[in-house]
Every structure is written in C-alpha cells, then in structure tokens.
Amino acid sequence: MSLICLSDFEAYARDHLPKATWDFIAAGADDSYTRDDNILAFKRIRLRPRMLCDVSVIDTSTTVQGMEIPFPVGIAPTGLHCLAWPDGELSTSRASDAMNTCYIASTYSTCSVEEIAAAAPKGLRWFQLYIYRNRKLSEQLVRRVEALDYKALVLTVDLPYTGKRRNDIRNNFHLPKYLTIKNFEGAFEGYDGPEDYGVPINTLDPSVSWKDIYWLRNLTRLPIILKGILTKEDAELAVEHGVQGIIVSNHGGRQLDGVPATIDALSEIVNAVQGRVEVYVDGGIRTGSDVLKALALGARCVFVGRPVLWGLSYQEFERSCKSCVMNFACRWPLQAAKISLQSARTWCSFPSFRILPNTKKTASREERATEERKH
C-alpha cells in the first residue's frame, strides 16, 4: 500500500491498530464536535493566490525560540507512543531529529526523558509539563529536562481534569501492564488505587492559577510556553506574566467539547499579543495548505499530534524492513506534510516565511521577579 498523505496514514492506523488503541488515539471529548471542527475549520478558509511572482527558490525555514528549523511543522506532545509501536517515543525522537524539527516530549511518555534524549542527542526537544498537587513531581521533571538540554518548557494549562472520552470509558481503557509512564517510575510506589492513564487519579492540581507561572519561572531559565490558550484575554495575561510563547490549542478536542477550533481562535490571539511572544497552533492540521493557512493567520509554526502516532503504527506492520528504516517511519507523515506545504506555497506565490513580524523582547528575569513580589 502506497501512503502519500496524512489521510492515508490515518486509514492505515485505523485498520491495523487494536480497536482500544485506535479509539484512545482518535478520541474526542463527549460528542467530539471540537475534535472534528478542528479539521473542518481549515476547510472553511480559502487561500487567495497571487500570480506572476518569482517562486523559483522556496525557503520553508523558520525559527522557534531562536532555533532554526527547515520547515514550520513540529511534533506536538502526545502520550503513550509505545501503544503504536514498541520503540515508542524513541522512534519519534529519532524521526524529529532526522527532519531537523522540534519535538515536544509528553510528560505521559512511555519512554523517559532520559531515553528520549539519548535516542537523538542533537535533536531539538521541548518538554510538556503539568503542575501537580505534589509540586516536587513537577520540580523534579524540570530539573531533569534542564540537565538533558531540553530547550523549553511547554506548560499545558487546559487539563485540570481529564476530559470525558466515551470510547475509552466503553473500552475500559487502561495502560497495559507491560507499559508504564516512565517519567514517574518509582514516584507512586505502593499505590494500589484507581488510575488515570497510568497515573493515580487526582495527581493533577486543579487549583493551578496565573500565580503559578511565577512559581515556575523561579525554578528555571528555560523559555516557558503556554499550551491551551484560546482567548485574547488569556493571551494578554500570558504576555503580562512573562511567558515566551503560546500554543493555541484545545488539546485535540480531547478535553472540553464545544470550544472554538484552534484555527478559528488563532487570529484573535495573534492580534492580542502583537508580536510580543511567539504564537504556534496545533489541532486539525492535515495538509500543507492547512499549514500555509495557519502561517498566513499569524502562527510561527504548527504542531501535529495524531499523525505522528499514525506513522508509528505503520512501522509495526512493516516487519520485513530493517530496524533503521522502521525507526523513522513516523518521519513519513512529516515528510508528506512538508512536500504538500512546498506545493501550496509555490502556487500561492509565497516563497519565504521570513516576512513574519519580529518578536518583541519580553520581560527580563529581574522584571518578572519584581512583578511577582507585587502579587
């Protein structure tokens, strides 16, 4: 079977993964309206191509937090990659490195942050962080990723509780006994109660508020990027609290059903921050044209989640391939998106992304400390 676009990888994964695994990856909250609208919203947007422009040389590169990447598509944080392929996040890390793009490693990985870093020592990695009731858990993760040269922290702010995903409930989905959330190994020894995707329930702290941004800033010098912002009000607060980036995200429609599609929320947030921080977007991106639409609306880079898991599922069934080829199977969806993006940009006479507005300087560490004392 020849897989040439992300829809092909999706169909393959749907047909070959165990039902409970596919349902977990595909799940949206409640009626899945927001999950589906993330995709449909891109289709409602029309490109306005300009003609007779020189597109003989195409530059797809951009920068994220000062680091150059060759094309503006990164890997969003998704958990439990070993469900799709035994090598899990190790393959994802290698694939990201092979494509020279940015990989946001999930807290809920089935490989540890150390293993992910060792799989691609020179790769560009950020780390997705949650704030837990036991702040020491979060603090220890920050220390570990700092020591491993992760380049940024992506604080997910839209998950005080896990969304209601009906098929996971119907399937009684739980982490297989042969898998663990490696980043928490030893953290919950002796616990024998109910779990939520491999971690004791009520581990997340629903009391997290804006003041905790200052708490996190005092822990680290890494850039802080907030993932899960959907309104201009929160975007403005993010800037006021000295973060370095925003990912416009609704968690792939997996948390609260009925919120805006991310591409619909993007312009509001870009207009609110006025170039003071970098703005990225995830959710529903399936073609190069989708990437181009997001960039035209002000995103510096997009991130994709589910398509990477579809790519991992493909290698599980290519057993005749050598392991070095299988390690990069999740690279193929990224390559497909890159090729599609190049074509869309050429047809729209858009040879370079370097016309994006420059990011203004955010508050210094000392200025942020002063602001924290005021609070």
Binding residues for glyoxylate: 165, 251, 254
- Decide if 127 contacts 154 (C-beta within 8 A): yes
- Decide if 139 contacts 109 (C-beta within 8 A): no
Q: Which amino acid is at 312?
A: L
Q: Please say if 81 is a catalytic residue.
A: no
Which CA distances in Å does 54 have to 50, 79, 115, 143, 357? 11, 42, 45, 48, 22
Q: How many other C-beta atoms lie within 10 A of the C-beta of residue 60? A: 18
User: CA-CA-CA-CA torsion for 51, 302, 273, 38, nearest 10 degrees?
Assistant: 90
Record the tokens describing residue 69, joined without a space: 């990447």
Q: Is the dihedral of CA 309, 347, 97, 317 positive or negative?
A: positive
Name the E strands within the chain.
62-64, 67-69, 73-75, 102-105, 124-129, 153-156, 195-196, 199-200, 224-229, 245-248, 278-282, 301-304
Record the tokens describing residue 41, joined without a space: 């919203």
- Decide if 95 contacts 328 (C-beta within 8 A): yes
Q: Which of 16, 81, 241, 251 is catalytic?
A: 251
Q: Which residues contact 252 (CB under 8 A, 6 or more apart)?
A: 28, 35, 38, 282, 283, 305, 306
Half-sphere exposure of residue 153: CA atoms within 13 angstroms, side-chain side: 24
**Do β-strands 278-282 and 153-156 pair in parallel, antiparallel, or remain unpaired?**
unpaired
Which CA distances in Å does 291 have to 155, 297, 317, 349, 357? 23, 10, 29, 15, 17
Catalytic residues: 251
